[in-house]
């Protein structure tokens, strides 16, 4: 056996060993983060819907609707800032690795669609409520 095949077989053996040892941790990740998970793999769309129906985004959607309804530019900017804080909280690296384990198991997906939709919503609201110059 040559040096390349030897390194590949050692890495493959180590990877298989770690995957067998890590399987209970993956199951615990889904039990911890999504206790009512039915076993179907999560998609980007289902993750976006689940995130939009969480309490914090529902509050932020209501606050954004009120700010847009009253065309309050600073209120809309403040809510957009709060959205950015919430999204930063979502994508902050997880030191425990539970979120990555849940994504690998399939009970969670990346929050990509949620981030794109939130950014588009905030951008549209800020542009809509921006103060325009009055021409004479």
Would you state the pLDDT for residue 72? 92
- Whether residue 10 lies inside any domain: the answer is no
- Whether residue 2 lies inside any domain: the answer is no
Count of CB atoms situated within 10 Å of the CB of 72: 14
Task: Return d(Cα 134, Cα 98) in angstroms, integer.
Answer: 53
**Angle formed by the axes of helices 112-129 and 73-91, nearest 10°:** 170
Would you state the pLDDT for residue 136? 64
Count of CB atoms situated within 10 Å of the CB of 104: 15
Would you state the pLDDT for residue 94? 85
Show Cβ contacts of residue 110 under 8 Å, excluding neighbours closer than 6 positions: 44, 47, 103
Split the chain (136 residues) into runs of 10 and give each run's mean pLDDT: 56 48 59 86 93 95 96 94 94 87 90 95 94 72
Domain count, the chain: 1
Q: Determine the structural domain holding residue 49 and report its residue range.
A: 24-129
Q: Say which residue the tokens 């939130």 belong to.
A: 118
Show Cβ contacts of residue 11 under 8 Å, excluding neighbours closer than 6 positions: none
Would you state the pLDDT for residue 119? 96
Q: Let me know: does 120 contact 55? Beta carbons within 8 Å.
A: no
Would you state the pLDDT for residue 21? 46
- Whether residue 1 lies inside any domain: the answer is no
- Whether residue 66 lies inside any domain: the answer is yes
């Amino acid at each position: 056996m040559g040096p390349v095949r030897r390194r590949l077989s050692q890495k493959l053996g180590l990877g298989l060993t770690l995957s067998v040892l890590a399987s209970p941790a993956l199951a615990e990740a889904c039990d911890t983060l999504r206790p009512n998970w039915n076993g179907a793999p999560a998609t980007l769309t289902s993750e976006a819907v689940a995130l939009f129906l969480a309490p914090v985004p529902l509050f932020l959607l209501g606050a954004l609707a009120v700010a847009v309804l009253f065309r309050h530019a600073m209120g809309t900017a403040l809510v957009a800032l709060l959205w950015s804080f919430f999204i930063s909280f979502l994508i902050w690296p997880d030191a425990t690795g539970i979120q990555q384990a849940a994504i690998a198991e399939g009970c969670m997906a990346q929050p990509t669609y949620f981030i794109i939709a939130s950014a588009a919503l905030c951008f549209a609201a800020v542009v809509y409520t921006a103060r325009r110059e009055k021409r004479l």
